[in-house]
Amino acid sequence: DGVQDVINNYIYNNLYQTVGNYELLSINQTVVNLVKTVEKSVIGISNYSDYAGSSNTGTGTGGIYKRETTANGYKYTVFTNHHVIEDGKSVKVYLGDIDEYVFANVVKSDKNLDLAVLTFEHKNLYEPLKLGSIGSIANGDFVVHVPQVNLIYKKNRYGTTERNEPF
């Protein structure tokens, strides 16, 4: 049966009142299916303070959104946050399904947008994410943040969209 109750959002420690009945098992299964669909397209990003890539100064996640065929496999284009790669001398992507780090190139980064675009090459085939349109979401829509599943935290975050507020 459904649940109509107060949900505690642990990210910002705010309370929200739900309206209507929600089948939590159904929501859970939907999120599990979503994570299975995108888990190989969401990768880890590591920032290093040296060019050899041996002194890690930060980690985050990124999403593969473009794939091109090359002579040796594929070239992937990835989005991540600027703060993940900021001030790094080198950047690597982590491919969790094969437990491998690969050097990446920073194509463009914008501190004000907190957005960075990277590329890397690899022989393995990864499916780019299917991205929607910003016009297809509204304030209050349910969103899921899917981290790179083999990083330490291994948690999905849930919340709702809100204008000018980070998720």
Whether residue 152 has pLDDT greater than 50 = no
pLDDT for residue 126 is more than 90: yes
C-beta of residue 74 within 8 angstroms of C-beta of residue 121: yes
pLDDT at residue 128 in the model: 93
The predicted pLDDT at position 20 comes to 64
45-104 tens-digit pLDDT: 999 988 887 888 888 889 999 999 999 999 999 999 999 999 889 999 999 888 899 999
Interval 18-45: pLDDT, tens: 566 666 677 778 878 877 888 888 899 9
Quick one: which of 158, 154, 149, 155 has its CA closest to 37? 149
How far apart CA 94 and CA 44 sit, in angstroms, is 5
Sign of the alpha-carbon torsion through 99, 104, 107, 111: positive
User: Greater confidence, 39 or 117?
Assistant: 117
Residues 86, 92, 93, 97, CA torsion sign: negative
pTM > 0.85: yes or no: no
Provide the pLDDT for residue 59. Answer: 86
